[in-house]
Every structure is written in C-alpha cells, then in structure tokens.
Structure 1
Amino acid sequence: MKAIARVVTASVLALIAVCGLAACEDDSSQSRENDAKQKNYDHLVAKQPAGRMQYSPTREAINEWVETWGKRGKLSYVYIQNGKGEYGYFVMKGLPVPRCKMLTPTERVDSSSNGKVVVAQPGMDGTYDSGSMCGAYYGFDALTGAYMEFTVGANQSFFLFDRPMSMPEYADAEQLGPTSAEDVAD
C-alpha cells in the first residue's frame, strides 16, 4: 500500500511539474517576436562574428586623456563661443565639471513585495536635485581659486584645451576670468 502511495504521489508531483513548466512558457506575440530577434542575432553572429582588432585607437585615446588630465595642478583653457561667434576664455584648475556630477549616489533601489522602486537620494548639501544641470559647468580659477560657472546650449559652445590656443579664432578671445593665459605661461 505504501509503495502504491509513493508511486501515485510521485506521479502527481511529476504531472504538476510538467504542467508547471508548460504554464511558464510564454507563447505571446511579444515572446515570439523576441525569440525571432534573438534567433536572427544568433544567425548573424554565426555568419559574421565580430572581428578582432590588433590595436585599439579608442583605448589609446582614453589612456592619453588619463595621462593628460590625471595630474594634480593641470590647467585647462576653456574657450566659450557665444551666438555671435565671439570667443572668451577661462583658465581653470583641472577640468570643468558638469553640475550634475556627484560624489555620492543620486538614487537607490528599494525592493518590496510590489517590486523594485528607484528612490531619489539627497545630495551633499542635503537637498534633492532633478539632475537637470548637466548643461552647467563649474570650476575654479587657475590662480585665485575663484568659483566660475558657465552654461552651454542656446547658441553657446565651449572648447576645452590643455594649453592656450593661438589659432585666429582664439587669438582675440576676451579674458573672462581673473587669470589670463599670460599669467600662467610656462
């Protein structure tokens, strides 16, 4: 009798498992489209695998950026062009920083029985920010340390260099901050 009960129990559990697996399969049109997309991708990768580069110019450029800007005391020359095509410049300590950059996380993920929710975190000043200040940049004057901020967009662009520029469009650039290029000339 115990043997029959075990066989029946095992059979019922196996049937439940098979039914459960069948129920997990998604036969929706979205699932079929996703499957088709994945199969096509797999087919294309098999026919045209990604090539191998002997050398990466992108990695070289990133490493040169690190070499250029990864030093304390490096100056940046920020040339700003207004809507009229006129240029001005700042000489700053290091790189200008977008105002939306933070040293602490701006969000955290909370999990509950209802799923995951992204929750805003306060900034270093104890206030919340929408993260919409990415077009505003700030930095500090090369000699005086004065705080400087500028925005880009709406017919205003900036060009960043690690040394003063002598090209004609920059040669007549108006000094916008306390420090001139001549003040910090090597």
Structure 2
Amino acid sequence: MKRSARRTLAGVGALVVGLALTSCTDSSQDKENKAKQANYDRLVARQPAGRMAYSPTREAINQWVRTWGKRGKLSYVYIQNARGEYGYFVMKGLPVPRCKMLTPTEKVESSDNGVAVLAQPGMDGTYSSGSTCNAYYGFDATTGAYMEFTVGTNQSFFLFDKPMTMPEYAGARQLGPTSVKDAGKRP
C-alpha cells in the first residue's frame, strides 16, 4: 500500500475513534436532555393523551368562521378606559392588529455558514419591528373612515357582532362617525 493511502486510512481511523470517544462523553446538558426525554416518554406510556369524541374548541373556531367570514359583517368595538368609562366604534368587519401583514415579514437564508433570518419590508416599503400588535385599525361602518385605537395600559376593548344592551355598554359614548342606531338602518 502506498504511503499516502496509509496516511489517509490512518486519518480516517483517527477520526472514527475521535467521534466514538466524543459520543461516549455526553455533556451535562445532553444528559439532562436525555433524562427529560426519557421521563416524558415514560409519562406518555403511563398516561397517554385522551381521545375526544367531540371538540368544543373546533366548534368554537367554526362558529367564529361562520360569524366573521361574511363580507359586510359589522363589529361593535366597546373600549373601556382607566376610569371605567365605555365608548364604542361600529366598524366594517373585524379590527385588525397593525402587526398583521399580507406579505412575509421575514426571509430565511441558508448557507454553509448557517441560517439567517432577514427582515423584509412591509407593503409600504418600510421595515417594522412588529411591535404594533397593541394597535388596531378598521373602517367606520357607514363612512368608511379609517379608525385606529390601542389597548393596554389601562385601556381594554370588547368585541361583539351585535350592539350590547347590558348597562355598562348601553351607556357607552359614540367614538366614531357611526352610531348603533345608524348601523341598524344600514341596508
């Protein structure tokens, strides 16, 4: 056998021995991960997930689709401020969080050096941090006027598909161009 072939075989042999030795010496994290997985497997074997004959969650999602999956459906957005006072908007369709996009917000690129997640520009040609999920927007039910509101920091909103008659909502102040009465007159 030629000297270069012997060197190659010796190098491959050393690599195999090295890999075998490293696989025998797990790190403490590897050991803990294996213990966690073994415990999970044991628990699943002893207590497998139950099976349902019926899913109330799926029913609720399908009811949501039937409720909001119609063009022209109005939403009644009641907003409560820090003082406990209520106001309302009547909007076409659902309010939308500003962080929702129609185009991908990230692009994944792979190379020999690893994977990188790159931000993509939004529809307006600018980049966003995606931190506007507490801001919602929509359009007035009769005028089509753009409306935006934020939630959090002592302000909450409650969404309904019909005007609410409970006392706290019945006295709500109109915040947008359309009143509950105007929405009822819509064709």
Matches of 2:114 and 2:183, distance apart in 1 = 56
> What SS is found at the alignment partner of 2:76?
strand
Query: Residue 100 of structure 2 corresponds to which residue in structure 1?
Result: 101
Residue identity in the other structure for 1:72: R
Matched with 1:63 is: 62
Distance apart, 1:18 and its partner CA: 4.8
Q: Tell me the secondary structure at the aligned position of residue 164 of structure 1.
A: coil
Partner of 2:50, secondary structure, is coil
Match of 2:87 in 1: 88
Q: Specify the code of the residue in structure 2 equivalent to 1:22.
A: A
Q: Distance in 1 between matches of 2:22 and 2:110?
A: 24
Post-superposition CA distance 1:127-154 (Å, at most 9, x none): 0001110000000000100000000011
Compared CA separation, residues 23 and 128, structure 1 to 2 (3 A): farther
How large is the RMSD of aligned CA atoms in angstroms? 2.2
Q: Per the alignment, in what secondary structure is the counterpart of residue 95 of structure 1?
A: strand
CA offsets per residue over residues 35-56 of structure 1, 9 Å max, x none? 0000000000000000001111
Letter in 1 for 2:138: G
Distance 2:142 2:22 in 1: 66
The CA deviation string for residues 49-92 of structure 1, in whole angstroms up to 9 with x for no partner, is 00001111100000000010011000000000000000000000
Give the match for residue 173 of structure 1. Answer: 172
Q: Which amino acid aligns with 1:171?
A: A
Equivalent position of 2:17 in the other structure = 19
DSSP 3-state at the match of 1:185: helix
Identity %: 75
Q: How many residues align?
A: 180
SS in 1 for 2:62: helix
